Amino acid sequence: MSRVLRGIQRRWKQAENNRRISRLAAQIERHAGKDEDERPLVFFNASSRLAWVSLNSSFSLITGWCARLAGAPVAHFVCRAGMQQCQLGVNPDQPLKPPPCEVCVKQSRRLYAGGQVRWFDYQADPKLDAALVNVNLAALEQFVWQELPLGQLVLPSLRWSLRRHHLIDDEGTRHLYRQFIRSAWRVAQEFSSFLEQVNPRGVVVFNGVSFPEATARHIAQRRGLWVVTHEVGLQPFSAFFTRGHATAYPIHIPEDFTLTPAQESRLNQYLEKRLQGNFSMAGIRFWPEMRSLEPELLQRISTYKQVVPVFTNVIFDTSQIHANVMFENMFAWLDQVLEIIRAHPETFFIIRAHPDEDRPGKQSRESVADWVERNQVERLSNALFVAPREYFSSYEFIQRSKFVMVYNSTIGLEAAIMGAAVLCGGKARFTQIPTVFLPDSSAAHRSKAEELLSADKIAIPPEFQRNARNFLYYQLFKTSLPFDDLLTRDITPGFVCFGKGVTWQDFTPQRSASIRALVDGLLFDGDFLREDD
For residues 152-175, give the mean pLDDT: 96
| Rounded alpha-carbon distances, angstroms, from residue 521 to 76, 132, 530 | 19, 41, 10
pLDDT at 285: 41
Q: What is the pLDDT of residues 298-338, one digit of tens each?
A: 899 999 999 999 999 998 887 788 999 999 999 999 999 99
pLDDT at 533: 64
Q: What is the pLDDT of residues 491-529, one digit of tens each?
A: 888 899 999 999 999 999 999 999 999 999 999 999 999
For residues 166-175, give the mean pLDDT: 96
| Rounded alpha-carbon distances, angstroms, from residue 490 to 161, 237, 281 | 24, 12, 15
SS3 384: strand
The answer on pLDDT for 280 being more than 50 is: no
- Angstrom distance (rounded) from CA 300 to CA 477: 40
The answer on pLDDT for 438 being more than 90 is: yes
pLDDT at 10: 80
pLDDT at 273: 84
Predicted confidence band at 276 (pLDDT cuts at 50, 70, 90)? Answer: low
Predicted confidence band at 22 (pLDDT cuts at 50, 70, 90)? Answer: very high
The answer on pLDDT for 348 being more than 90 is: yes
pLDDT at 271: 92
Q: By C-alpha distance, which of 288, 336, 290 is closest to 310?
A: 336
For residue 225, which phi and psi values (nearest 5 degrees)? -90, 145
Q: By C-alpha distance, which of 98, 94, 104 is closest to 84?
A: 98
For residues 21-42, give the mean pLDDT: 89
Q: What is the pLDDT of residues 257-275, one digit of tens each?
A: 999 999 999 999 999 887 7
For residues 126-137, give the mean pLDDT: 96
- Angstrom distance (rounded) from CA 422 to CA 441: 16
- Angstrom distance (rounded) from CA 512 to CA 485: 9
For residues 209-228, give the mean pLDDT: 97
Q: What is the pLDDT of residues 282-308, one digit of tens each?
A: 444 444 455 677 888 889 999 999 999
Q: What is the pLDDT of residues 404-435, one digit of tens each?
A: 999 999 999 999 999 999 999 999 999 999 99
The dihedral through the CA atoms of 111, 113, 116, 120 has a sign that is positive
SS3 58: helix
% the chain with pLDDT above 70 = 96
Q: What is the pLDDT of residues 61-104, one digit of tens each?
A: 999 999 999 999 999 999 999 999 999 999 999 999 999 999 99
Predicted confidence band at 44 (pLDDT cuts at 50, 70, 90)? Answer: very high
Q: What is the pLDDT of residues 458-476, one digit of tens each?
A: 999 999 999 999 999 999 9
For residues 368-373, give the mean pLDDT: 95
Q: What is the pLDDT of residues 103-124, one digit of tens each?
A: 999 999 999 987 899 999 999 9
The answer on pLDDT for 6 being more than 90 is: no
pLDDT at 393: 82
The answer on pLDDT for 346 being more than 80 is: yes
SS3 388: coil
Q: How many residues does the chain have?
A: 533
- Angstrom distance (rounded) from CA 168 to CA 150: 19
For residues 333-345, give the mean pLDDT: 98
| Rounded alpha-carbon distances, angstroms, from residue 105 to 51, 109, 110, 211, 298 | 8, 6, 9, 18, 55
Task: Describe the strand order of the beta sheet including 347-352 as a list of residue ranges.
Answer: 383-386, 347-352, 306-311, 404-406, 422-424
- Angstrom distance (rounded) from CA 441 to CA 326: 5
pLDDT at 278: 41
367: Cα separation from own chain's centroid:
18
pLDDT at 9: 80
pLDDT at 150: 98
